[in-house]
Amino acid sequence: MITVVFLLVVGLAGWTISTLMSKGKHQDDITKELGNILESLKLLTSSITALVKLLMKDSIASAKEEDFQPISSNVIDLLKLEKKGDKKAA
């Protein structure tokens, strides 16, 4: 499926470039449409970035302190074991 889409995009790009190089009647219209496509891609990228930021904020806000409690207790236990190992070595 991705290959088909890729081939269509490459084919369309080649057709567009060859039409622009041949200086056809509709060259101005083609360049306007290309500008519209680029503007749409910029807006899509901006929207996706905003969506990812909102999802990250929501995920962080919904995470509770108790979700991280097992992790912090494991870290504290590891630090205690490390200190005991240091005292035995000395």
pLDDT at 59 over 60: yes
pLDDT at 41 over 60: yes
The confidence score (pLDDT) of residue 72 equals 59
List, in sequence order, the alpha helices (H) in 1-90.
2-21, 27-62, 65-89
The confidence score (pLDDT) of residue 45 equals 96
pLDDT at 4 over 60: yes
Question: Residue 82 is which amino acid?
Answer: E
The confidence score (pLDDT) of residue 67 equals 59
The confidence score (pLDDT) of residue 85 equals 61
Average pLDDT (18-34) is 89
- Class of residue 55 by CB neighbours under 10 A (exposed 0-12, middle 13-18, buried 19+): exposed
Mean pLDDT for the chain overall: 82
